[in-house]
């Protein structure tokens, strides 16, 4: 039962938005409300918005009713920034338009376009978008911009912040601002003079505070997505440019992004990479410092545990299993549009690091099989490591950055920290060239002792990163709920107060994705933790990353593979605890159609899943387990009498076809609808495309 204000919102919006896209039943709100993070909030309402006019209306009506909104697209977010217990507005289907501009120098993209799809559209022109997160095959443009995604090859030079050309946004009151439209900008400046003045005041405040000004400049020399992109107040004078860049990395807390225009970047024709194995992390990090001035586009660090997580892959080289415990790998990439130039770059890279010994000889490769495996191993590390965790635990990924000169020391300090708190499955990998490390480990949130252990780890991690190494607590995955309690710790009170002012300028009622980035609760990262109950051996290793979703034929009709697993887990949890029989009954009421009947069971999801989970296979087993005894007997009888069954079906189809020719389409449709109705929908409706029964195959005929 919805609260009165939510029911009123639903009733009002149903007049302009198809009610079928305004979801309130427990199964759908849970399925759509789940993202890739280890947090869970269940929305009151999920609205599948299909265009900007709908979003404007949603925002205006929610403002009148004082209801909080959260916007999201793919939900690959790792820090809890795409969940809510209020109203979730999903911008995926209906948001796929794109346009090439200025002789292909720019591309305008709507938020529901998957990052890899954008690159496919640009590939014929030898171009791509700048950001290249490991999740680019599932992450959508809206989230890529809202989280200031960077990645493996773009560094800080080609991330979302640096390559944004223009943006179109909807503010908390329904106001539109399109920075590419001079009339829109002029109207905005005229009608929102107070907001413009506030932005200019913040800009001037920072520039008049020499210590703060230099702190901001220094902290953004390395990757940093902790808090808001306040470097915009240092980098730009024009308030519209400042607004444009503040939206990047704002995690949906300042406005809704209707479209974004990126500067395109060159996608070099020739690419090669090499996996360099070093004797220690120190050697690998020292090599990285030297590589910073060499012609590389990526340097990815994989510690020994990370290598171990992929050594059983069928395509992995055998020597992976023989490496010493101290070993550390660097995946180095170089590119060029000229093959000879690329070979010269390879030579320069060798010369740059020749003073540091490697564990073994190395070669650069452009061989598609080896090249693909090297990058597959790196891009799939997060979910692969997640798939190795103990059933019932969550996979945690922390995302920090250090000045490159401190990277080796920081790596060792992090390993000591994990050892101190007995996280024996912790892995280090990341974008070494940017001093950016991802820390992946499994966490049990089912009891208070484990939660307390996690709290101690996080507190000490903040001290290590900020106080000891002056690093970034979030480098590229966004602040979210997970790091919100530590934003002031990293930035200090003065900068944090500026961030609070930014939030208030754009969202004075604190109703646009509240409690993300700015959250006064010092224990926010310990609340609303997602349960991960044991459900079925086929899917228990799923970390709900969402990589499967773009490949699922039923996604958008009913549920995606990720969502099916979410629902199966919740049913298992409710059956085990028996703490909410009504909720279990409500979910079970819709599960047959949503989870079972609309799954194609084609296994396409397994092709995209880094841990090869075939949700279709799981659904087949679910289907078999859900059959009652009479259904199983009937199925068994049909299975053992296939000849007779197919004969009856052929005769039936021929009779239906004869009836169609006798009565005609109009009468046949009327009769079919009537039989469908009086049979309580047990007999399916007839359609003109129904085929005629085939002739029996003569099995004695010679080929």
Stated as kind and residue range, the H or E segment containing 54 is helix 52-65
Q: At what angle do helices 642-663 and 665-678 cross, to 10 degrees?
A: 130
Length of the chain: 703
Mean pLDDT of the chain: 94
Q: What is the pTM of this model?
A: 0.91
What does the pLDDT read at residue 682?
85
Note the maximum CA span of the chain.
94
Q: pLDDT class for 547, splitting at 50, 70, 90?
A: very high
What does the pLDDT read at residue 1?
82
Checking if the pLDDT of 428 tops 80, the result is: yes
State mean pLDDT over 443-464.
97
Q: For residue 508, give every residue at least 6 positions away whose Cβ sits within 8 Å of its Cβ, in sequence order, or none.
A: 172
What does the pLDDT read at residue 154?
72
Percent of the chain's residues with pLDDT above 90: 84
State mean pLDDT over 126-147.
95
What does the pLDDT read at residue 561?
98
What are the backbone dihedrals phi and psi of residue 88, each rounded to the nearest 5 degrees, phi first? -105, 125
pLDDT tens profile 24-51: 999 999 999 999 999 999 999 999 999 9
What does the pLDDT read at residue 310?
83
pLDDT tens profile 199-238: 999 999 999 999 999 999 999 999 999 999 999 999 999 9
State mean pLDDT over 659-688.
91
Checking if the pLDDT of 244 tops 60, the result is: yes
- Report CA torsion sign: 7, 8, 10, 15: positive
Are 436 and 425 in contact by the 8 Å Cβ rule? The answer is: no
What does the pLDDT read at residue 702?
60
Give the architecture (CATH level 2) of 102-266.
Answer: 2-Layer Sandwich (3.30)
Are 473 and 492 in contact by the 8 Å Cβ rule? The answer is: no
What does the pLDDT read at residue 425?
87
In the chain, domain spans:
102-266, 271-472, 533-626, 632-703
pLDDT tens profile 313-351: 888 889 999 999 999 999 999 999 999 999 999 999 999
Positions of E strands within 126-198? 127-128, 164-170, 176-178
Q: Which two tokens stand for residue 178?
A: 């399109």
DSSP annotation of 37 reads S
Name the residue among 75, 242, 57 with its Cα closest to residue 146: 75
Checking if the pLDDT of 405 tops 90, the result is: yes
Checking if the pLDDT of 389 tops 70, the result is: yes
What does the pLDDT read at residue 331?
96
Checking if the pLDDT of 312 tops 60, the result is: yes
Checking if the pLDDT of 627 tops 70, the result is: yes
Q: Strand order in 87-90's β-sheet?
A: 22-23, 45-48, 87-90, 69-72
Q: pLDDT class for 564, splitting at 50, 70, 90?
A: very high
What does the pLDDT read at residue 703?
55
Stated as kind and residue range, the H or E segment containing 62 is helix 52-65
State mean pLDDT over 158-172.
97
Are 369 and 315 in contact by the 8 Å Cβ rule? The answer is: yes
Checking if the pLDDT of 64 tops 70, the result is: yes
* Fold match, 102-266 / 271-472: no
Give the architecture (CATH level 2) of 271-472.
Answer: 3-Layer(aba) Sandwich (3.40)
Work out the burial of residue 617: count CB atoms within 10 Å of its CB; fewer than 13 is exposed, 13-18 middle, 19 or more buried. Answer: middle
What does the pLDDT read at residue 610?
79
Checking if the pLDDT of 385 tops 70, the result is: no
What does the pLDDT read at residue 697?
78
Checking if the pLDDT of 100 tops 60, the result is: yes
What does the pLDDT read at residue 383?
65
Q: pLDDT class for 382, splitting at 50, 70, 90?
A: low
DSSP-assigned beta bridge partners for residue 168: 178, 259
Q: pLDDT class for 411, splitting at 50, 70, 90?
A: very high
């Amino acid at each position: 039962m919805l609260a009165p204000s939510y029911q009123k919102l639903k009733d009002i919006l149903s007049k302009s938005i198809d009610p079928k896209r305004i979801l309130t039943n427990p199964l759908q709100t849970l399925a759509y409300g789940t993202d890739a993070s280890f947090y869970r909030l269940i929305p009151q309402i999920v609205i599948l918005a299909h265009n900007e006019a709908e979003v404007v209306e949603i925002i205006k009506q929610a403002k009148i009713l004082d209801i909080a909104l959260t916007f999201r697209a793919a939900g690959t977010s790792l820090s809890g920034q795409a969940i809510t217990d209020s109203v979730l507005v999903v911008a995926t289907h209906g948001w796929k338009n794109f346009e090439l501009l200025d002789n292909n120098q720019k591309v305008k993209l709507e938020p529901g376009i998957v990052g890899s799809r954008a690159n496919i559209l640009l590939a014929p022109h030898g171009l791509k978008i700048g950001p290249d997160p490991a999740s680019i095959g599932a992450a959508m443009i809206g989230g890529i911009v809202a989280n200031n995604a960077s990645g493996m090859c773009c560094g800080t030079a080609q991330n979302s912040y640096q390559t944004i050309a223009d943006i179109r946004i909807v503010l908390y009151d329904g106001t539109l601002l399109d920075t590419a439209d001079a009339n829109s900008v002029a109207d905005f400046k005229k009608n929102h003079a107070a907001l413009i003045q506030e932005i200019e005041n913040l800009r001037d405040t920072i520039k008049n505070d020499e210590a703060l000004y230099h702190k901001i400049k220094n902290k953004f020399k390395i990757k940093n997505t902790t808090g808001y992109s306040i470097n915009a107040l240092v980098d730009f004078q024009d308030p519209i440019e400042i607004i444009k860049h503040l939206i990047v990395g704002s995690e949906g807390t300042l406005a809704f992004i209707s479209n974004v225009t990126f500067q395109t970047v060159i996608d070099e024709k020739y690419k090669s990479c090499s996996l360099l194995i070093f004797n220690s992390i120190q050697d690998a990090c020292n090599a990285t410092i030297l590589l910073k001035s060499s012609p590389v586009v990526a340097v990815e660090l994989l510690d020994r545990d990370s290598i171990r997580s992929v050594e059983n892959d069928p395509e992995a080289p055998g020597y992976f299993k023989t490496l010493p415990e101290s070993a550390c790998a660097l995946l180095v990439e170089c590119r060029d549009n000229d093959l000879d130039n690329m070979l010269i770059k390879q030579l320069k890279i060798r010369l740059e690091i020749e003073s540091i010994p490697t564990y073994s000889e190395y070669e650069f490769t452009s061989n598609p099989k080896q090249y693909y495996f090297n990058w597959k191993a790196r891009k799939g590390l997060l979910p692969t490591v997640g798939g190795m965790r103990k059933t019932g635990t969550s996979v945690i990924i922390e995302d920090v950055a250090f000045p490159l000169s401190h990277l080796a020391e920081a790596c060792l300090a992090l390993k000591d920290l994990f050892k101190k708190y007995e996280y024996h499955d912790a892995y280090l990998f990341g974008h070494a060239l940017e001093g950016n490390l991802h820390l992946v480990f499994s966490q049990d949130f089912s009891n208070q002792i484990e939660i307390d252990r996690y709290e101690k780890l996080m507190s000490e991690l903040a001290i290590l990163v900020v106080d000891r190494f002056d690093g970034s607590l979030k480098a590229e995955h966004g602040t979210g709920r997970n790091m919100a309690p530590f934003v002031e710790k990293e930035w200090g009170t003065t900068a944090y107060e500026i961030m609070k002012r930014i939030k208030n300028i754009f969202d004075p009622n604190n109703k646009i994705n509240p409690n993300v980035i700015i959250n006064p609760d010092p224990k926010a990262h310990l609340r609303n933790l997602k349960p991960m109950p044991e459900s079925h051996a086929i899917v228990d290793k799923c970390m709900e990353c969402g990589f499967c979703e773009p490949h699922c034929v039923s996604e958008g009709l009913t549920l995606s593979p990720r969502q099916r697993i979410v629902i199966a887990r919740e049913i298992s949890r409710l059956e085990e605890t028996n703490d909410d029989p009504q909720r279990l009954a409500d979910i079970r009421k819709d599960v047959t159609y949503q989870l079972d009947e609309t799954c194609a069971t084609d296994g396409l999801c397994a092709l995209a899943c880094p841990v090869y989970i075939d949700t279709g296979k799981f659904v087949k087993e679910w289907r078999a387990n859900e059959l009652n005894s009479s259904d199983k007997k009937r199925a068994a009888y049909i299975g053992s009498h296939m000849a007779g069954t197919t004969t009856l079906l052929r005769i039936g189809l021929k009779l239906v076809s004869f009836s169609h020719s006798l009565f005609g389409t109009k009468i046949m449709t009327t009769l079919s609808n009537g039989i469908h109705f009086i049979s309580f929908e047990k007999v399916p409706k007839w359609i003109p495309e129904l085929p005629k029964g085939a002739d029996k195959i003569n099995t004695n005929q010679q080929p």
